[in-house]
Amino acid sequence: MKTNRFVITVIGVDTVGIVAGVTRVMSDFGVNIIDIRQTLMEDIFTMLMIGEVKSENFVLKDFQDKMTQVGQEFKVEIRVQHEDVFKYMHRI
């Protein structure tokens, strides 16, 4: 893995506390937010965040599981993917 940046996407109905819920997990896992955007994808609320892992003990699976749990709490879909998948697909 070349970088330690991940793209976190939150897709679903906007409700109070989503941003707080997601950012709390990021802070717990030592993930620094380097970009955060909101947009609509076919009328569905979408939040995109780019996070950089600072902690050396970071375990991706645990982070993803925690995010899935937060997603279930707020009834939204949360994905955590390494940035390379987006870079590779769209950029030469």
Q: Interface with another protein by CB under 8 A: which residues? A: 1, 7, 9, 11, 37, 39, 41, 46, 48, 50, 60-61, 64, 77, 79-90
Nearest to 66 by CA among 3, 15, 12, 24: 24
3-state secondary structure of 70: helix
The residue among 30 and 83 lying less far from another protein, judged by its C-beta, is 83
Q: What minimum distance in Å lies between the beta carbon of 7 and another protein?
A: 6
Nearest to 66 by CA among 58, 35, 52, 34: 58
Q: What minimum distance in Å lies between the beta carbon of 35 and another protein?
A: 8
CA distance 1 to 5: 10
Q: What minimum distance in Å lies between the beta carbon of 38 and another protein?
A: 9
